[in-house]
Amino acid sequence: MDFILFSLALLLWLCAGCGAVLLIAPRGRAMSLIEVLSLAVLLGAATISFALFCLGFGLSGLALRSAVTVLCLVLGGAGWARQRRSLIKIAWPSRPSITDYFFLSVLLIQTSFVVWLSLRNTFGWDGLFNWESKAHLACINSGVIPLQYFSDPSRAWSHPEYPLFLPLTQSWFYSWLGSCHQGLIKLIFPPFYLSGLGLLYVSGSRMGGSRLHGWLPAMMLPFVPLAIFRDGSATSGYADFPLAVCYLAAAIYVAEYWRSGASDALRLTACLSALLPWVKQDGTILWLVIAVLIAVKGVARKQLKGPLAAIMPGLLVALSWIVFVRVVKAPFMDAFLPVRPATLWAHLDRWPPVVKAMYSEMADWTHWSLMWPGLLLALPLTRSAERRAQVVALLTAVIAPVILYSWVYVFSSLQYMEHVTSSLSRLLLQVTPVAVLILGLSIPRYRARDSETPTRTQTAKDEHRRNA
Amino acid sequence: MRASSRCVKFACVRAFLLVGCSLSQSMRTESGMVYFIRRLCADYGSPVSAAFRVLFLVVFISLGVKALSGMNLQALIDTGPNGWGAPVSGDAITDAYFRTVLRTHGSPLAEVPRPSASVQSSLAGIQGKGAILVISPRDDHDFILIPPLLSYLSWPRPVHYQLCGYQEPADSTSPPVKVAAVIFHSLPPPAWMAPGRVMIPSLTLVPVSETAKKWTSYCSP
């Protein structure tokens, strides 16, 4: 019975998500079914958690669950109606080849392994005490997190100031199950993993021009050990992996915007990047990177209105959450010193050891395999005029957060090296799917028009011409 | 296992030789390094770079598999006292945390098949308003787990902790005004208190109705 109720909650999640995707997608845009379902996982969870948060101020228990259920069905129905009017074209997967079957089998085996890991693994510290504990609290309080929790000093260790994307998604399942079932709740993480795989496949094949470019990054993801096991991974109960998938989605569409400048890509970027501050506080930094990428391209294209409108949703979400945290008097940014030039100057000596630690972490193949050095393989892609904009956007989306995160520790109010040791790998994990996408694009042979091999004579001629 | 590690080593040596040969060839001229980089960047379809990229993929996958196999995943196959159903039971996660504590203290796991349920039922029996105070020895590393676990199970009752073995009050959270129960972790209750009730091995609950005493008084035998 529990499993049926769990499946029902999952279906409603997907229904809301599909509806949201079809309503957000610009008119006339062609989307593949895999793309719609992958985005539905992210937008569905965001819709449900946000609805539970907002409606929770006035409703609780059965009334709250019924209201959110109606919202899910209405969204699904509205999206379906829009699609029926042929405003959105959904492309079904075309006839697969033997190679496709091979990769599909590999992915099925990998996904089964991840589901098994999710079930067998126990949530890590943050997974239980920072995220699931809030869902548990909502579960025993008729679906609503009591306001007194946010200002309870004896529970400050559970970070009441963290956003509620994950806890309220978990509490949605608890409300359908009728109890706080810690065993079944582990199963909400495989959909995020599948969403990541779907996005890697869709974006890889779209950017690379062949299905192989899509299959490869999807297949490579589980070979980054930290992506599927240990703290922060897809099976650990942490918010870092869902955040990484949301960031991947936003990065894909911002890269598309960099290539085409199309407003429909901007619209999807706006909605997906707005999820980032709602998933985790670190998401605000990731949102900032996306916002800067939008702004840079907007300025280059002499567009103002579109990029500005695309930045607004994320800004609104981040500010609203900060206001809420202040109003309920939750502890805010306890782990960090005030971000001021004086603090920066006083703790500047921390930066070199942090960078050193970051280098050691990236070079640790037991955590990342060859992912970080492998990014060098993407450099040749920047020579292709067709791909340059996209690859530069994606590389920036990987490198910029890493640089920003190295500066974040300068403001740590804890023992900063302990802070680095305990959280660095998780921060790097947040950009891992984007890095894997770049790797997947780099490996297969690319038949670009401008990829001819220069001989030494040609190189010399080029240099001569440039000097002249 | 040995064969796979030999495979990885072989692949690494091949990759090293491949890069080494290309480098040594290209560095014979003055601007060899620049040429090498330009060639690597531009030569995106030649057999050499294709082989390099395939080799990279093979090494990437091999290292990933090797790293995962070194992460002790086989421990997840160990089903524990409750068999295959344990990881998907209703209290699967908190039970796993309590089992970690029990294991540290050498208590047989079969004695307490559902530790979370046992603790929760004991906590439910605490009368009156007031906080729970957890007393723990400083040198027991599990102390870091116990207060959050009890706090998780005892909502809305606040949980505070105090550590024995250090003379600094900084080793405690801000003391509560009124205490409804004191839970001793890895410590027996002092002689001046009632013997209390063992919730699970290593956790003893003593219901009280008092204003919090000086924290060191709970540490004395």
Question: What was the pLDDT predicted at A381?
Answer: 76
Euclidean distance between CA atoms B132 and B158, whole angstroms? 6
For residues A35-64, give the mean pLDDT.
94
Residue B178, sorted as left (phi over 0), alpha (psi -120 to 50) or beta, turns out to be beta
A381, two tokens: 């892609």
A461 pLDDT above the threshold of 50: no
The pLDDT of residue B81: 55
pLDDT, position A434: 96
> Is the pLDDT assigned to residue B170 strictly greater than 50?
no
pLDDT, tens digit, for every residue of B91-130? 889 998 988 888 877 777 777 788 899 999 999 888 888 8
Name, in order, each residue with C-beta under 8 angstroms of A42's C-beta and a sequence gap of 6 or more. A17, A192, A195, A242, A245, A246, A249, A272, A275
Q: Positive or negative, the Cα torsion across A399, A404, A408, A410?
A: positive
**N- to C-terminal Cα separation, chain B:** 53
| 8 Å CB contact of B54 and A443 | yes
Q: In percent, how much of chain B has pLDDT > 70?
A: 62
The answer for A 83-102 residues in CB contact with B (under 8 A) is: none
What is the domain partition of chain B in residue ranges? 2-73, 85-218
Q: What share of chain A is helix, strand, coil (3-state, %, to 5)?
A: 75, 0, 25
- A65-69, A214-218, B88-92: the lowest-pLDDT one: B88-92
Task: Say yes or no to pLDDT of A204 above 60.
Answer: yes
What residues in B contact A133, CB-CB < 8 Å? 148, 152
Task: List the one residue out of A137, A142, A60, A149 whose CA is nearest residue A328.
Answer: A149
Interfacial A residues in 161-220 facing B (CB < 8 Å): 179-184, 186, 216, 220
How many percent of chain A have pLDDT more than 70?
Answer: 94
Q: What is the pLDDT of residues A179-191, one digit of tens each?
A: 999 999 999 999 9
Q: Is the pLDDT of residue A322 over 60?
A: yes
Give phi and psi for A109, each to the nearest 5. Answer: -65, -45
Contact A158 B151 (CB under 8 A): yes
More confidently predicted of A132 and B53: A132
Residue A357 near residue A417, CB atoms below 8 Å? yes
Q: For residues A230 and B88, give the distance between their C-alpha atoms in angstroms, rounded to a whole number.
A: 19
Q: Report the mean per-residue pLDDT for chain A.
A: 89
CB contact under 8 A, A454 and B38: yes
Q: In what order do the strands lie in the sheet with B178-185?
A: B159-164, B131-137, B178-185, B203-211, B197-200
Chain B residues in contact with A447 by the CB 8 A cut-off are 45
- Shortest distance between the Cα of B64 and any Cα of chain A, in A, equals 4
pLDDT of residue A437: 95
Task: Output the six-digit token pair for B192.
Answer: 């001046």
Give just the sign of the alpha carbon dihedral A385, A387, A393, A395. Answer: negative
The interface pTM score, or ipTM, of the predicted complex is 0.87
What's the CA gap between B99 and A390, in Å, rounded? 49
Across A137-185, the runs of DSSP E, i.e. the strands, are none
CA distance A173 to A286: 28
B148/A120 CB distance under 8 A: no
Please choose, from the candidates B139, B138, B134, B137, the residue with its C-alpha nearest in 3D space to the C-alpha of residue B149.
Answer: B134
Measure in Å the smallest separation between the Cα of A74 and chain B Cα atoms.
32
Note the pLDDT tens digit of each residue in A146-164: 999 998 888 888 899 999 9
Q: Is B218 on the interface with A (CB under 8 A)?
A: no
